C-alpha cells in the first residue's frame, strides 16, 4: 500500500515537471514566432492599369491628362503606318498645359521623344498630375508639281498647287530653268486671290519676284491647307515666248491613323 502511494506521488511530480517544461518551451517558441512574423514583409502584386488605348487619327496636336498616386513605369506602344513619323511624344507637368497650348517649343518636358516611329517607349514618373502630349505628323519632302510649259508672249501660265488634304506645308520651294536664258515674273497666291488677280483687281500675294531668271526660289516658309496658284507671267514680253522647266517641292504634313496604348505599372 505504501509502495503504491509512493508511486502515485512520483508520477504526479513527474507530470508536473513535464508540464512546467512544456509551458516554458511553448512560451519561447511563441516569442520566437512573433519575432519572425515581425520581420516578415508581405509581398504585394504591383498595380498595372491602362491609361490610354485607342485608335487615333493624328491630324493635330493632342493631349491626355492623367494622375499618378505613386511611382509608376509608363510603357507607351505606338503603331503607325510604315515610314510615317510623329514630331514628338512627350509628358509635361499639368501646370505646363496652357504654355504648351500656346507654344509647345517653350514648354518644360519631363519626357520628350522626337521624330517617333512605331515602337515601344518607356519612362518612370513619381506621384503627381501630368499631361501626355502628342505632336503632329512629321512633314515629308514631296514634289508638288513638275513639268515644262511654254508661256506665250503677252500671256501667263497659272499652275495649280493642291494642298487641300494636308495639315500644312513648309519650306515651299521652286526651281525654274528658262531655256531661252531670259526672265519671267513669278507670283504665288491662293485661289481666292488668284480670281481677284484674273479680274484685274489687287490680290494679296504670298510671293512675288519680277524678271526672275533660272534658279531656286523659296516661295513660302509655311502654307496652311488650301489651293494655290503659281503664276508664270510673261505679259510684259511683246515678242518672246519662253520655255520653262519647273519643279515645286515642299515638306508636307499629312494626317494618318494609328494606335497608341499607354500602360502604367506601379513600382514598389
DSSP 39: T
Q: Which residue has the cell 497650348?
A: 101
Taken in order 208, 249, 228, 213, the sign of the CA dihedral is positive
Do 139 and 253 form a contact (C-beta atoms < 8 A)?
yes
CA torsion, points 31, 34, 38, 43, in degrees to nearest 10? 150
Describe the strand order of the beta sheet including 48-58 as a list of residue ranges. Answer: 48-58, 256-266, 72-79, 119-125
pLDDT at 198 over 60: yes
Exposure of 77 by Cβ count < 10 A (0-12 exposed, 13-18 middle, 19+ buried)? middle
Q: Which residue has the cell 496604348?
A: 261
Model confidence at 45, in pLDDT bands (50, 70, 90)? confident
Domains of the chain by range and CATH?
48-138+256-266 (2.60.120.380), 140-253 (2.60.120.380)
DSSP 3: H
Model confidence at 46, in pLDDT bands (50, 70, 90)? confident
Do 260 and 192 form a contact (C-beta atoms < 8 A)?
no
Digit-coded pLDDT (tens) for 62-85: 999 999 999 999 999 999 999 999
- The size of the chain, in residues, is 268
Digit-coded pLDDT (tens) for 227-263: 999 999 999 999 999 999 999 999 999 999 999 999 9
Using only C-alpha atoms, the chain has a radius of gyration, in whole angstroms, of 39
pLDDT at 41 over 60: no
Model confidence at 1, in pLDDT bands (50, 70, 90)? very low
pLDDT at 187 over 80: yes
- What does each C-alpha distance from 86 to 71, 187, 223 come to in angstroms? 27, 33, 19
Amino acid at each position: 500500500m505504501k509502495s503504491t502511494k509512493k508511486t502515485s506521488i512520483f508520477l504526479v511530480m513527474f507530470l508536473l515537471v513535464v508540464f512546467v517544461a512544456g509551458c516554458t518551451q511553448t512560451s519561447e517558441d511563441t516569442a520566437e514566432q512573433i519575432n519572425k512574423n515581425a520581420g516578415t514583409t508581405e509581398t504585394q502584386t504591383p498595380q498595372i492599369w491602362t491609361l490610354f488605348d485607342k485608335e487615333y487619327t493624328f491630324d493635330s496636336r493632342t493631349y491626355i491628362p492623367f494622375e499618378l498616386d505613386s511611382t509608376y513605369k509608363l510603357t507607351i506602344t505606338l503603331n503607325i503606318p510604315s515610314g510615317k513619323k510623329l514630331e514628338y511624344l512627350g509628358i509635361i507637368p499639368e501646370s505646363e498645359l496652357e504654355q504648351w497650348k500656346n507654344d509647345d517649343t517653350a514648354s518644360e518636358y519631363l519626357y520628350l521623344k522626337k521624330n517617333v516611329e512605331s515602337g515601344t517607349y518607356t519612362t518612370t514618373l513619381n506621384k503627381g498630375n501630368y499631361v501626355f502630349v502628342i505632336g503632329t505628323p512629321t512633314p515629308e519632302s514631296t514634289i508638288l508639281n513638275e513639268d515644262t510649259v511654254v508661256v506665250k508672249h503677252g500671256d501667263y501660265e497659272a499652275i495649280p498647287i493642291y494642298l487641300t488634304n494636308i495639315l500644312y506645308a513648309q519650306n515651299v520651294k521652286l526651281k525654274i530653268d528658262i531655256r531661252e536664258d531670259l526672265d519671267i515674273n513669278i507670283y504665288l497666291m491662293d485661289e481666292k486671290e488668284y480670281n481677284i488677280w484674273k479680274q484685274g483687281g489687287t490680290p494679296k500675294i504670298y510671293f512675288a519676284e519680277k524678271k526672275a531668271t533660272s534658279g531656286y526660289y523659296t516661295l513660302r516658309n509655311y502654307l496652311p491647307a488650301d489651293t494655290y496658284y503659281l503664276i508664270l507671267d510673261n505679259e510684259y514680253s511683246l515678242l518672246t515666248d519662253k520655255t520653262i522647266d519647273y519643279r515645286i517641292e515642299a515638306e508636307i504634313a499629312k494626317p494618318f491613323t494609328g494606335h497608341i496604348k499607354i500602360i502604367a505599372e506601379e513600382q514598389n
